[in-house]
Structure 1
Amino acid sequence: MSSANGNGAPPVSLTIDGRKVSVPAGTTIYDAATRAFVKQAGDRNPIPILCHREHMTPVAVCRVCTVDVSVNGRQEFRLAPACQREVAEGMEVRTHETSDRVRNAVSMLTELLLADYPDPEAARAARLTKQGQSRGEGNDELIELAERLGVENPRFSRSRREKPIDESSMVIAVDHNACILCDRCIRACNDIRNNHVIGRTGKGYKTRIAFDLDDPMGDSSCVACGECMISCPTGALLSKHHVLSRPPAGTVPAEELAAHPLFTGVSKAFLDFNEGAVVRKHFRKGDVICREGDYDATAYYIEDGEVEIFISSPFKHVKNHRGAGSWNPFALVRNSLLAGRGEDRRDEEMDTEFISIDAPVVLRYDKPVATMGPGAIFGEMACMSSYPRSATVVAQTDCTLLEVGRNVLYILQRGKFSKAQLDERYRQNALDNHLRGATVFARMVKNEDEFKKLVEFLRPRVDLVRVNNGEVIFRQGDPADAYYLIRIGFVKVSQERPGGEFVLTYFGPGKSFGEIGLMGHIPEIRDLAPPGIRTATCTALDHVDLVKIKGEDFRLLLEQFPSVQKSFIDYAITILKQNERMLRQVNEDSLGDFLQQGLMNAQSVLVLDLEKCTRCDECTKACADSHGGVTRLIREGLRFDRFLVASSCRSCLDPYCMVGCPVNSIRRRGSLEIIIEDWCIGCGKCAENCPYGNINMHPFPTGQNVFDEELRRKVPVLQQKATTCDLCRELDGQPSCVYACPHDAAHRMKGSDLAREIGIVATPPPVR
């Protein structure tokens, strides 16, 4: 796989079959040849491959990609595998098209593979008859390679025993006779999809692929994603086309998709296998295409017409307000109150003008409506990561959309030509919207001329990077080489401490990271962070799309745009000081079973001393009185010794609730309490993610009414908003549950303090 080192090294110049090529240092010879020779669909790389694909890590098993290499005029003795060998300055590369030495070697390897392969024509005819489908030209890459090299009948032969065909799976047939043990299916299953179902079994001539513990494919844990099938170069894994006997209405045929510009370069076999995953839908003006908060697993591509995307939920939060003149110091007005940030300011509340959503546009806080036209794709985050829809989409004109399933979208984002199309559309149509939604660029948005200069500066300098679930983007202590903005997905930011991993925060769409390691040369940052070194580890929590700006381009950005530099400096200082405060609160002891309960993760748990508690329930009543009649705690939970840990927000060190919010409206203050911003759409994802059940969904009347057919009358429309304990920060900072306890039985404490109370961790001696 090609990789740029990102350290500002100059590009490397070389020649391949006499053609001059200039590529970043670290690029492989094969990827360099792809850049030079493959400009559009139908172009062919002069270097063949069998065990490798562009999106896989090269292993150089089959060696059909071997090339003749000379460096500075000196020819190397051994042929080199092009998929794995990196380029070097002054390198001269010759492929089988210009070197007899290479051609003879690759032809020999091809003959050896064909010697242990079914009769090409008979095997192909048998498979086509059995499957009842046309696999299309070029699907058997070994046969295609033989034709390309002019190898008709291999000189080698051996006695073979026919291996049975495994048809136990409902969707894929396994023909072990056609398998050449390239391991592409194994790496596709294990490395690309992380399913870990396929491996090798047997030794020597009896070696073959196997599923789980050598089970039939249909009895294994295979999830039938099809990744192995589309990765197989020979047809040893084939789609059983008859599974989808009745595709959904509006299904776009595979033949039509193959000719569609968006699907350029996508395997015809894959499109056949996923028949029904792309549906063409027509909407009339005013039709609702999808609603905010709904769950779905598809994205939409606009072919014709325009759509309007907006957030219908009111941009307000739950307002805490004591009832005037009440004899009860915890009493509130007994109705639910919502307030916008203009009438009820809260500490550390965001003052953003734009809201990032799952679309190539952003919405203004004061007018959350935008329009999208032909060529736009929206709903990618909901499709790839099963998150709720972030906004409602309505047809503004009569329009035609392609509804794309997850498997197909995944391939579009990975294929060479389709990815290039999507990336170019992002640069031209969505980059400016993305930057408007990024907090750190907010100052420049107010100056439209300066903002346009910024966009034009960055447009040719950004790269789109896609990261899979669980993949580490960079580690604490690594050299800092790039700055990242999040387009889709969520990233966990953590630091390694002596007691283990400490999660600093989660970042979602519209957020950015990686700037601190690139700013060590700035005097204001120099004393707060080590120069040129990553201060935290960033890990993808799901399918993440990142906009990458290389380190040298980032520094040039700061030089040319002083207002941006000022924003970055202020932001970096705030983050570094906030992290320092948070880390001082972390107890670094290991607690074994106590840790497994999630309590070591807690920075503020409500603990009831049962030897003092009289079960009067005043703590619960006080909480309800303080929050509009909706309690944020339940007097039930885990019990340790004489202490009961009540169900209430713990201000976790690793706040799972922040992951997956489609509009990024839940976050943590610098003092660890959770804050829910005004633009919460009430989807309930945070409540679902909280492992302790400490986030509640509170319904509020919207002032609108709809006619209920069953009741035969109008009923009020309710809007949900998420609520959670904020330690009464918006009242007076004194938790009402603790203050109301008449027996001194209720206490707020860290999980580590509770551990010491019950003797799991010894109390440290006083410092003298």
Structure 2
Amino acid sequence: MGMMFENVQADYDIVIVGSGPAGLSAASRAQERGNRYVLLEAEDHASDTIYKYQKGKHVMAEPGFLPLRSGMKFGEGKREGILGEWDNALKSQSINIAYKKKVAGIKRDDANSPFTITCEDGSSYTSRAVILGIGLQGNIRKLGVPGENLARVQYTLSDPDEFKDEVIVVVGAGDAGIENACALAKQNQLHLMNRDEEFTVCKDGNKNLALATEKSGKMTIWHSAFAARVEETGAEPPLNYVFNAKDGEHSIPCHRVVARCGAIPPRKLVESFGIQFPNPNPTSIPVLSESYESNVPGLFIVGALGGYPLIKQAMNQGYEVVETINGEVVEPVDEPLIRERLKAWKADANVGDLIDRMRASSPFFAAITKLQMREILLESTVKVLRKGEVVFAKGDYTNTFFSIAEGSVDVQISPDEVKPAKYISLPAGRFFGEMGLLSGRRRTATILAGEGCVLIETPRRTMLKLIASSDEVRKQIDNAFVRNAIINYIGSAMSPESIDALLQGGVELKRYNAKQYLFKEGDDADGLYLIRRGSVEVTRKAAGQDQALGYVAAGGYVGEMALIDDSKRSASVMATVLTEALVFEGARFKAEIERNPKLKETLQALILERTRANVTRADTSANSSYMAQFLVAQGVGDASNILVIDETKCVQCNNCETACAETHDGVSRLRRDVGPTLNHLHIPVACRHCENPHCMKDCPPDAISRGPTGEVFISDACIGCGNCERNCPYGVVQLAVQKKPKFGGGLAWLLFGLGKAPGDRAPDYDPNARKKAVKCDLCKEISGGPRCVNACPTGAAVRMSPDKLMALVASDN
């Protein structure tokens, strides 16, 4: 094949706009091939984005598994070294680069005409093809809260050594934010703000760097932290950074705020070139082919503007685009890696053709660009399953996401006690697992493989990154979450068509901080609330006091009672932890109720049942309500399995601690005599196996996992860094030397008092030995369940889920 548009008359074969990593790589390859080209750079130096990195920044060469395909060298190293090597290559390779050429326009009359590229200085160029690699850095995203433009709120950091002995808040846990924070932490007191519950958008190397800096005590990391405002204090320190965290509003007096919130594509400029975007979202990326060609033939987009901010990826793209322009059929550099992932299913498949077929057969895959599909396949596992094989069981605590590539799966819709079980089939092109992905709670149904079942299992972190980058993907997953939650709630009272019509009316996602009300008693009914993540407490005023009526976790509903009878809200609903709710617009839901007698009848039955329960709870003693509020205040909303002790039955024998120590190498994972108590209910210090475990967020070796039945446990991979101990708000993780104890005297101790008592460890280990993290694992490998519960002679110690505990407290007269 010949060069693209070889019959078009133009000054150049290729004009490359932007001398970032992709542009440099493209220019190097064009020079090597002998093309007529020019590299246009708006500044007076090459690679402006990296030039503006902080001094001494360590630049990573990720992803590590991806080979480099470029005539320009690149490897992990310091900013100054990389820029120096590229400057030398520009000279040694005689790259044709023109500085101070800021492009203002790109146009083309028709397919037989050349592109005309005009610059702000009035110069112009004609070319057969254009490679656009202008990046995003000129369109910095601000905080979006009051105070975002104060003098000490800055959005770049050139030299971290300029600041010393200050309290500094860095907002943003991407690569730039983490690198700035860790550099500043050497001589300042640092706070790093992460909007997510874990690190989802940074490189693994930077994640580990942040955790190591926190471990050293030089930085505090706040997760699920959302900026509220920045205030001037008129004193020292001059600023007050206010933010909402999982447990409510916090403020940090500080000297400055460094916000690294990313950048927004220069959409208006890019659209003026004729390039199309898939939706109105300002953060969306242009529509590109697998060869990085836009909807404008001959105009290619590479690097961050096309959704690939990593340097190595951008350099590979620059090289490959030049090859494509020269008429070569280019196999993407990741092709062999993806084929390896697919070998259990399609060993010899052409990856591009396979992706085309998958996107054509599935609305979900169609919402993902071809390039995003390649990235998903690289990070996912392909499973070929036999018919009847269990994918996951109801009640499992896994949170990966499944796409059906071929065949089908069977979803159990009948209760476990109903025999034979009833199933519905999901065909190829559908997906499942979104409820565990979004809510962090147990799987809500058992899924079996159907005929010819092939599944793509995608890790949670990969899916969260995709949801954050694609509105259409987020919408599809939210709609599936809502659809399945409706079916779980009201069964078959609504047809699939009715549910779809309800979803088309729009569902609003709302976020609530801890102790923030979704609505209050006496408010007008504005809609139906589906709890997507977190949990809420339902209360009603009685004798001037808030009386707890219930606790609703992710996957449940609140707010339907007032919609049925057009009344005011009969109770208040407050978030117990950081909570997200999907809200159905009230008028549309009411209209559906009036159209559907079966739905109205089902809802009335559910409301009658809830009303009876509320009346019963209202008649109970005020003590029960105080008890429920006490549990909520102690963070029971976080838990999935909590240990409680009824002190009216407890005889202080300490068998629970002793049994725990005997079972776990002499180290008890609970402290019976510590923890809050109200009346007779005691919550000892023992792991609650949180729905979204705090301890799992920052584990460098990924040593903390969640088992399929919900237990959160620590593997032998633990390195003893202590991050989990610091991150746990309930103090249930400890660092200890794990060594088999010299057991006590056993029978001799029982009969004659000789030797150590059971559970007492003889001090036979080196106190300076390396310690590792230990916590309750629910005795997951021991038949019979938790030893602490089994060892209690009076039945005072029990483990249960929060909803059962709240129901028990509410029924306690």
Using structure 1 for the length normalisation, give the TM-score. Answer: 0.43
